[in-house]
Structure 1
């Protein structure tokens, strides 16, 4: 999928249908929502993206459907998924804030309620993954869906880590290795990587194994 391979037409069609169904559940008319869909698809297809692509959105929506099944907040969470990486520049430090501002501006034109827009903004900002304090149940679901890749099977995880390196191709190798290890260790140092019961059961052990293996691989690169 990476090297900027696109979703197949079939998967893209399914993704479009999910967008239409989401708009319907939120009471948003389809006509003004279609141009927004096109803008989001174009954003996730930017050439500098290798992990933060439509595949990431598709995977998150699938996992969120499992984690949040029956949750009345699911449509709001799904909309937050669509916007959480809408602005992504690996050289920037404020992608989440920029994505939140984009969501506020775009969703206001669709006449989504101010309270729902505020919830979506807060959820997007939560994906900064700063050290966790108390978070809402909604945020826990979104963050676990966003981090589910850490608990993927070995082959999928390796593809993910390689894609992240491509997105940071502008960073020299030594600098990247040191910075990446700090990020990975910050997750390992948490009492739990995941917040929801299901992800703790199904992903926690595998995620820690993946992180430890990547750290070992990166450490080898630092050897003289």
Structure 2
């Protein structure tokens, strides 16, 4: 069954189909043999991205990450593989679980061969999805750098958009008591601020690093400053 209608869904289906066709490459079926229809795969993924437990990891987040991949595409070695990885990177998402990335990667490993993507590119998509556990790509991992920068680009948003992002993250973890959430979130923010760099692509480093650090520092101050609720 197709997911409920959403203003972004038709455009996203087209983006999925374009990336899938490009990733199939020379392994596409011979003339006279129909390639698997991209639409059911897009609908399955969009249904996942529309699940009710999501508040930040939604269709809007997927669309934003794809937009950021497009911005960074010139840095990627295989931008269409990165686009497919963006589709799968939070395809399985339960806030209370710590295995979401692994389960998302395994979903890609099952779905993409069936959809006509060759083994090497399927494996690369799964590797990129697993990389989002740490967001720590190697210096020579251009595709990993693009996906991780695209996923973290929200940290550099304007103050209003960042506030909505932080509020949506809190909603996803509504089952966590306030004091525990504040402590855990503050630890995450300190870890991010302690990294020598948040973004690895040239564009990310130039355009997103400073505003992201300002946003993270402001949220940390709000969580831990004198005006913060007592834990």
Tell me which of 4, 14, 34 is aligned to 2:11.
14
Structural RMSD (CA):
2.0
Which residue is 1:186 aligned to?
191
Find the aligned partners of 1:50 and 1:21 in 2 and give their Cα distance: 27
Find the aligned partners of 1:193 and 1:13 in 2 and give their Cα distance: 33
TM-score by length of structure 2 reads 0.88
Does structure 1 residue 136 correspond to structure 2 residue 144?
no
Find the aligned partners of 1:66 and 1:13 in 2 and give their Cα distance: 21
The total of aligned residue pairs comes to 218
Tell me which of 217, 220, 228 is aligned to 1:221.
228
Tell me which of 53, 56, 61 is aligned to 1:56.
61
Native 8 Å contact 2:9 2:46 kept in 1: no
Q: How is 1:115-126 mapped onto 2 (pairs within 5 angstroms)? A: 115-126=120-131
Query: Which aligned runs of 4 or more in structure 1 are off by greater than 6 angstroms?
Result: none
* Cα distance, 1:186–1:30 mapped onto 2, change above 3 Å: farther
SS at match of 2:97: coil
Find the aligned partners of 1:87 and 1:8 in 2 and give their Cα distance: 20
Native 8 Å contact 1:7 1:55 kept in 2: no
Q: CA deviation at 1:131?
A: 5.6
Q: Deviations over 1:80-122 (max 9, x none)?
A: 0000000001000110000000110111212311111111111
| Greater shift in the superposed pair: 121-130 or 98-107 | 121-130
Native 8 Å contact 1:63 1:145 kept in 2: yes
Gaps of 5+ in 1: 1-5
Find the aligned partners of 2:23 and 2:136 in 1 and give their Cα distance: 32
Which residue is 1:162 aligned to?
167
* Cα distance, 1:31–1:116 mapped onto 2, change above 3 Å: closer
Find the aligned partners of 1:124 and 1:55 in 2 and give their Cα distance: 18
Tell me which of 43, 46, 59 is aligned to 1:41.
46
Find the aligned partners of 2:220 and 2:140 in 1 and give their Cα distance: 28
Find the aligned partners of 1:132 and 1:39 in 2 and give their Cα distance: 29
| Greater shift in the superposed pair: 193-202 or 124-133 | 124-133
Find the aligned partners of 1:154 and 1:74 in 2 and give their Cα distance: 29
Q: How is 1:66-215 mapped onto 2 (pairs within 5 angstroms)? A: 66-69=71-74, 71-129=76-134, 134=139, 136-215=141-220
* Cα distance, 1:39–1:74 mapped onto 2, change above 3 Å: same
